[in-house]
Amino acid sequence: MDQPILMEGLLVQAQDGRARVILAPYCLDFEMDDVLDIEELPPPADLVPEKSIPVRVKIKSGARLLQISSADPYQDALWRRRTPFALARQSKLAPDHSEMKKREAEFFRARGLAEQTS
């Protein structure tokens, strides 16, 4: 007897009659007629609500894979990306010192000190 295929991933919107499962790093499309069961799972904390549903999918043995593609285009839409505080602070909170650095370099150059500071 053929065993069904079980997989856990994210169910996302697909064309009518298809089930699209994100199984990172892949995006898999199956015919809904080949899907035996879909069980909803608890969502991970960093999953964006209402964009996908974490699921366990049971598919018929021998089901035809209609499409396989990269899941990369979905990543930014499905997951909340957290920037570590140190990086966020550096990029957003730290003042821009580029003008000061230019003026400082000009000051040292004008006094013949540029080689000593490099």
Q: 62-97: per-residue pLDDT in tens?
A: 999 999 999 988 888 788 777 666 666 555 555 667
Over residues 3-24, the mean pLDDT reads 92
Single pTM value for the model: 0.64
Can you read off the two tokens belonging to residue 61? 């043995």
Sign, Cα dihedral of 67, 71, 72, 77: positive
pLDDT in tens, 30-58: 999 999 999 999 988 888 888 889 999 99
| Contact (CB, 8 A) for 80 and 46 | yes
Q: DSSP string of 18-79?
A: EEEEEETTEEEEEEGGGEEEEEE-PPPTTBPTTT-EEEEEEE-TT--EEEEEESHHHHHHHB
